[in-house]
Amino acid sequence: MEVKIGISDSPRELVINSGQTPEEVEAMVSEALSGTGGVVALTDEKGRKFLIQASKVAYVEIGTATSGRVGFAAV
């Protein structure tokens, strides 16, 4: 699942491919933004951990959980 995080004062967004469910990501981000955490911590599919200061998060876009696609595509 793709998670896009906009960082304030930065022209680029952070894109993470996470193995977590959309509900898990939403819960972690909500907890951090409510003031109890202070840091948004996400782990991608390769095991890399991303720590983002909650006060710098401008927006979070949570994609849908994707299942493996099977088939042929026209190239």
Q: What pLDDT is stored for residue 50 in this prediction? A: 93
Q: What pLDDT is stored for residue 37 in this prediction? A: 65
Q: Whole-structure pTM over 0.85, yes or no? A: no
Q: What pLDDT is stored for residue 58 in this prediction? A: 93
- Condensed to tens digits (0 to 9), the pLDDT of residues 11-55 reads 999 999 988 889 999 998 888 888 766 898 999 999 999 999 998
Going along the chain from its start, the domains and CATH numbers come out as 2-62 (2.30.30)
Question: What does each C-alpha distance from 37 to 28, 31, 44, 65 come to in angstroms?
Answer: 9, 6, 19, 25
Span 52-67, average pLDDT:
85
Cα–Cα distance, 75 to 56 (Å, whole number): 40
